Structure 1
Amino acid sequence: MRDDLTQALYHDFPVLYKCMSWGFQNGDGWYEIIRRLSISISNIVASASLEPSEFTVSEVKEKFGLLRVYISNTNNAIQDAIYQSVQESSRTCEKCGGPGVQSARGGWIRASCEPCEAERLRIRQEQARRYDRRDSGTVEIE
């Protein structure tokens, strides 16, 4: 996720994300899902008069085309909020945030929309062509 989006989450939820070692390991398109989840967790903790420092997220990432959130402590309400966010991620393009579907293409499961998937494939094909030219001894001058 872009640094400005990451910093916004760190700024707005400093206790929740104080233990994040690797940052957010997902695309920008899931930012709003993560923001809503952060608000939900914060509200659940506050409404139950729980100690906020006992609920810290250590990792947020994409795995098998779904959002994954690892939190130090939990209860049923937090588990439900995370579950809802994971379900939403399965139908949201990880890159742009638009409506998407989970699919297995090129050996990876990802949640994406058709335009973003087409762009990813176009870039991958271009990279493969450049690699093939280098491998064959053809020099490309740009």
Structure 2
Amino acid sequence: MRQELQLELQSQFAFMKRDMSLGNRYQNYGCECGDGWFELIQELCQRITNVYKFEGIDDIDIEILQIKEKFGKLRFYYRHFGDSNIIQAIDFLGVGSLRLSPPSDEECEYKKKISELVHSYEEWSSHICEKCGGRGALRTDFVWKKTLCEDCYQEMIESN
């Protein structure tokens, strides 16, 4: 994703600010996906913020670990400060993904809501062109799976 789009996310959402001293993939490389998912990520971040506001929690306790494309879909890996489990999903080549959710006790209700939001936006990404943000479809006829609109798909075919 272009630098100016990433800077916009960082200016809008404090938990999206990058700090190289933390040393995880997001901090080092930023959003490792196309510009077309900018609005999707922006909306997800706003909805995460809204969960905290609704729950009356002032400090957002999320550390972004990695944001990338994998198997043609968005992957938004994060953890809540203080949680020992940082694995959010396990991807299986050609089969799918196993999403791990936080404990479901009442203390963690907001964590469950955020996990559900992230999962739904990751699924939604398979209908949004990663390149331009238009209506897309998951394309499986390349070496890599990609979610592309018809125009970006044709452009990719012609460039190969």
TM-score, length basis structure 1:
0.79
Root-mean-square deviation (CA), in Å? Answer: 1.6
Residue 74 of structure 2 aligns with an amino acid whose one-letter code is L
1:16–1:53 contact (8 Å) kept in structure 2: no
Identity %: 31
Extract structure 1 runs of 4+ deviating beyond 6 A. none
Aligned match of 1:118: 154
Size of the aligned set, in residue pairs, is: 124
Q: CA deviation at 1:51?
A: 5.5
Task: Go from structure 1 to structure 2 and tell me whether the alpha carbon gap of 1:17 and 1:78 turns closer, same or farther (over 3 Å shift).
Answer: farther
Q: Partners in 1 of 2:50 and 2:136 — Cα distance?
A: 28
- Structure with the greater alpha carbon radius of gyration: 1
Structure 1 stretch 50-59 or stretch 71-80: which is displaced more?
A: 50-59
2:37–2:130 contact (8 Å) kept in structure 1: yes
Q: CA deviation at 1:37?
A: 0.2
Residue 114 of structure 1 aligns with an amino acid whose one-letter code is E
Aligned match of 1:49: 56
Q: CA deviation at 1:24?
A: 0.4
Q: Partners in 2 of 1:98 and 1:6 — Cα distance?
A: 19
2:18–2:30 contact (8 Å) kept in structure 1: no
Unaligned 5+ residue runs, structure 2?
20-25, 81-101, 103-110
